Structure 1
């Protein structure tokens, strides 16, 4: 996306073969298509498939750093587990379990404020990025839904203040292979799905939430907020980790906007959204 011809390069479709310990986008694709989550099946989707649109997000901080994401942004418990478990990468997916247990026992809490654009007052176009911008200009996709990062949050946005025990924003149903974070989310529905727990959860409630992630049962708990939006701002009052697609992102204030169908991936036609 930092290339001068980003508008051409980003349309180059890529294929996905699972490996390592995350594989969220691959798992989301295979689940949508009813395929087994195996390398052979993923190779089949590439060979027999055609370019399909996927959503991408722009994230920026007050230091003028800009990042692009095809999957998720995590803070609080999830980001700490993701980044601190790098030490145990040789254990594969088990590294997340070990780091999660250690983090629950630490009784740590995170402080910050989430502000987001409610979909009921969002008047932006629901068409895809390329339908709205057939010949995009500029050095990057426009961030027309975001306010100046140093300015107050718009009055029509909603705000939820912490402390937070859990925060994970995703464009796909499964941001990792064993985590059904956002049931009903589609990789090109044009929305960011935020799952958050803006309160001090007990160890029992935190464990409940984490166990529910495998099946999606966590969204039924009263202490879990499920938010659907196209743009949001996360303002932290601490220096704890923020993880974007598994990489560390700095800055006390972070803004994110969704771009519907900006990227492309090779696979079979995706089912219609419901």
Structure 2
């Protein structure tokens, strides 16, 4: 159960807070070190340490509470996670095991995030079957303009493509559905071990935007959409655009819904439309130069 708990807590760690070495997969790498007290469980693998319950002796700290509340205003890097974790955040078997190990959680006063937790759970429930073997990483801890999931392409694909799905806002736009389909442009790396994945994603991007059979070109219903360095609007509710590589941005698709209503259906419609593009990512495409 400790390995499963590590995987569950790992999903709460902001993707940008993953260590600069090691994988992004949720299960422990190397030896899993376990320390239990009557009020906490501390888990540590070769990458980082996680704690649920009382105490502060870990890289990522998750408060065990009877309710889902905001623990701090954020954004911040690691330390006490912005949201508490209630029993509802865990599968039934793990929930009972946690109660046996560290006791019933206590009610914590604070701003409720139960509705946010519920929305993110609904998004994952709906979209996960459409994204088999992708890994899910909560994004609430260190961004000021969004809340949701970063969903990363399977490690076996050697790809940096990710999907962000959740809610977004900024000083000009109120909170509403937000979805990105993105990758790092050529040469823009966060880690030195990403070079090969970045190279392959450059080739995949060329294939996706190809003017003869590219999946994004078919989605645009315009085989020349990527020829100009301007956003290309798609026929979805809200504001959903394809961004050609010549814009020099990370997203290839950028979408905002009209409101916070029907975000799950809106997101599912876009992910469904992206399936031909997503299927391209699993292929190793050689012999294409980045242009």
TM-score under structure 2 length normalisation: 0.25
The structure in which a higher percent of residues are helix is: 2
TM-score under structure 1 length normalisation: 0.26
Q: Quick check: which has more Rg, 1 or 2?
A: 2
Higher relative contact order (CA 8 A, sep 6+): 1
